[in-house]
Structure 1
Amino acid sequence: MQDGTSGEPNAGLASDLPAGIGNPARRALAAAGYDRLQKLTLLDERELLALHGVGPKAVAVLRQELAAKGLAFAEPGRDRGRR
């Protein structure tokens, strides 16, 4: 069991991903390192859908939750400075 003491900002904070995305999507996102809504703004919808376990329903729920917080997924094809 992890205790959340990795030294990262937000370490120890529970995931703020909405419950409506389902457990397979939650596990897929966690395995890829996406445990916070803010981190999802680095991905576009196509990248999310490429994760095994994340389907259109989960993306729709996440899109709605991001919008409620004034956030959005990245634009497709846009260079986001990742290497």
Structure 2
Amino acid sequence: MAGAETEDADPPKGTSNPAARGLRGAGYTCLDDLVGVPAAELKKLHGVGPKALTVIQAELERTGRSLG
């Protein structure tokens, strides 16, 4: 199980450092934390813009999940 946690422990590859810091600062520490979260809520975070949302959504969809 530790391998699965490690895989989702960081923001998806391609997410900028400011977006990664904004996500972590808001308590989103792994990809699983983002499932069902409205994109509008994430857009309010510092550093999280259209590119970061596109990257996050694509990674979630790769695993059969999505934003809210």
Q: What interval of TM-score do these two structures reach, taking the shorter chain for normalisation?
A: 0.7 to 0.9
The unaligned stretches of length 5 or more in structure 1 are 1-9, 75-83
Spell out structure 1 runs of 4+ moving beyond 6 A. Answer: none
> Aligned Cα RMSD in Å?
1.5
- Which of 1, 13, 19 lines up with 1:25 in the alignment? 19
Give me the identity figure in percent: 43
- The answer on 1:71 being equivalent to 2:61 is no
The unaligned stretches of length 5 or more in structure 2 are none
State how 1:14-53 maps to structure 2 within 5 Å: 14=6, 15-53=9-47
Structure number with greater Rg is 1
Structure with a larger share of its residues in helix: 2
Count of residue pairs brought into register by the alignment:
63
